[in-house]
């Protein structure tokens, strides 16, 4: 190996390391800050001489995180299974069955892929108010199901389009009914597609901020992300507590990502560029 290729290799690794550092440093800075003395204003990235692990416990109790986590879980349970089931059914029908006006229905759904949530938040507020749901978790769950639906249908339809039509034909020849074909053949083949979708929807619900902020006044009925916004409003000046609290709410998203990292990234590629 010549000197210049060694130099090149060092430069390339250096650039990559710099990008990695950029990605991780804000989180490290948060972590060291979260361990500083409560109420103090530490410097950006300094390991505290005497780490206060207790700050996490304090943040947990002062933000009432137990209630927030419970609330987030209720919201996720309300949103994810329902949306995945509806999107799977619709995606299957649009790909494999002759849905009347299927093209129109799908076209309308695709437009929804580009609609920013903010464009809908004003009328949603008044609609939910007239339904009497404002302030309850339904005010987050129901719109979120609708808002996530375009992506869900889009994703599942793409999966079901990739299935050989011969498979369906063969099942038909064997005398399987439409439901049996779906249940026995298509659904098992779709496991990786719908489970990846479930992970994406988990993250989208857990991290949702705008809907809870606007539609639910009581922070303890919001998602954790929505609750953290309120926590920032109250404890914005206490950097140490704020960093500890933020790390706590990031943790589930981070853990879910690391667990599903392999499938997640693979599914993302398949879904995105199939």
Partner 1 sequence: MTDVLLRQRSEDPVAPRDVVRRSARRTRNWAALVWVAPAFGMYALFVLYPMLQSIQYSFYDWDGIGPAKPAGLDNWKAIFTQPELLHSVEHAFILIVFYSVLPVGLGLVAAALIRELRPGAFSTTARVMLFIPQVLPLVAAGIAWTWMYSSDGLVNQVLRAVGLERHTRAWLGDFTFALPAVGVIGVWVMLGFCTVLLLAGIGKIEPELYEAARLDGAGRVHEFLAVTLPGLRRELVVCTTFTVIAALASFDVIQISTQGGPGYQTMVPGVEIYRLTFLQQHVGQASALAVFLAALVLVIIWPIQRLGRER
Considering the rule CB under 8 A, would residue 90 count as an interface residue with partner 1?
Answer: yes
Q: Which is nearer to partner 1, 74 or 105 (CB)?
A: 105
Q: Which two tokens stand for residue 215?
A: 């539609």
Considering the rule CB under 8 A, would residue 267 count as an interface residue with partner 1?
Answer: no
| CB of 116 vs partner 1, minimal distance in Å | 3
Considering the rule CB under 8 A, would residue 127 count as an interface residue with partner 1?
Answer: yes
CB 193 within 8 A of CB 156: yes
The dihedral built from the CA positions of residue 221, 81, 83 and 86, taken in this order, carries a sign that is negative
**Residues in Cβ contact with 50 at an 8 Å cutoff, skipping those fewer than 6 apart:** 37
| CB of 223 vs partner 1, minimal distance in Å | 8
Q: Mark out the alpha helices in the chain (DSSP H runs).
A: 3-34, 54-62, 65-96, 102-114, 118-131, 138-161, 165-173, 178-180, 187-189, 191-206, 210-215, 224-235, 239-273
For partner 1, the binding residues in 37-76 under the rule CB under 8 A are 41-45
CB 199 within 8 A of CB 264: yes
Stretch that binds partner 1, among 17-25, 52-60, 63-71, 189-197 (CB under 8 A): 17-25
For partner 1, the binding residues in 181-240 under the rule CB under 8 A are 203, 206-207, 209-210, 213-214, 224-226, 228-229, 232, 239
Q: Which of 4, 5, 50, 111 binds partner 1 (CB under 8 A)?
A: 111
| CB of 170 vs partner 1, minimal distance in Å | 12
Q: Which is nearer to partner 1, 67 or 97 (CB)?
A: 97
Report how far residue 160's alpha carbon sits from residue 154's, in angstroms, rounded to the nearest whole number.
10
For partner 1, the binding residues in 137-166 under the rule CB under 8 A are 142-143, 145-147, 149-155, 158, 161, 164-165
# binding residues, partner 1 (CB under 8 A): 103
Q: Which of 94, 171, 193, 197 binds partner 1 (CB under 8 A)?
A: 94
Considering the rule CB under 8 A, would residue 77 count as an interface residue with partner 1?
Answer: no
Considering the rule CB under 8 A, would residue 274 count as an interface residue with partner 1?
Answer: yes
Report the half-sphere exposure of 115 (CA within 13 A, side-chain side): 15
User: How buried is 94 (Cβ within 10 angstroms: 0-12 exposed, 13-18 middle, 19+ buried)?
Assistant: buried
Q: Which of 56, 65, 69, 92 binds partner 1 (CB under 8 A)?
A: 92
| CB of 132 vs partner 1, minimal distance in Å | 15
Report how far residue 34's alpha carbon sits from residue 181's, in angstroms, rounded to the nearest whole number.
54
């Amino acid at each position: 190996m010549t000197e210049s290729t060694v130099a090149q290799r060092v430069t390339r690794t250096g650039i990559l390391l710099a990008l990695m550092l950029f990605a991780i440093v804000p989180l490290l800075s948060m972590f060291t800050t979260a361990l500083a003395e409560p109420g103090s204003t530490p410097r950006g990235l300094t390991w505290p001489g005497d780490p206060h692990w207790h700050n996490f416990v304090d943040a947990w109790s002062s933000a009432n995180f137990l209630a927030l986590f419970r609330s987030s879980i209720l919201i996720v349970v309300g949103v994810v299974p329902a949306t995945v089931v509806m999107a799977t059914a619709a995606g299957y029908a649009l790909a494999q069955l002759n849905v009347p006006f299927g093209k129109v229905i799908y076209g309308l759904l695709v437009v929804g892929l580009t609609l920013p949530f903010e464009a809908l938040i004003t009328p949603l507020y008044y609609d939910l108010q007239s339904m009497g749901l404002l302030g309850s978790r339904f005010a987050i769950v129901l719109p979120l199901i609708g808002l996530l639906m375009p992506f869900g249908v889009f994703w599942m339809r793409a999966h079901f389009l990739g299935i050989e039509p011969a498979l369906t034909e063969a099942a038909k020849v064997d005398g399987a009914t439409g439901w049996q074909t779906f249940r026995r053949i298509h659904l098992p083949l779709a496991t990786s597609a719908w489970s990846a979708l479930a992970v994406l929807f988990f993250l989208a619900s857990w991290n949702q901020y705008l809907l809870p902020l606007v539609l639910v006044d009581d922070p303890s009925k919001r998602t954790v992300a929505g609750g953290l916004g309120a926590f920032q409003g109250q404890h914005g000046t206490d950097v140490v507590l704020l960093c500890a609290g933020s790390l706590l709410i990031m943790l589930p998203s981070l853990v879910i990502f690391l667990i599903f990292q392999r499938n997640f990234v693979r599914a993302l590629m398949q879904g995105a560029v199939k």
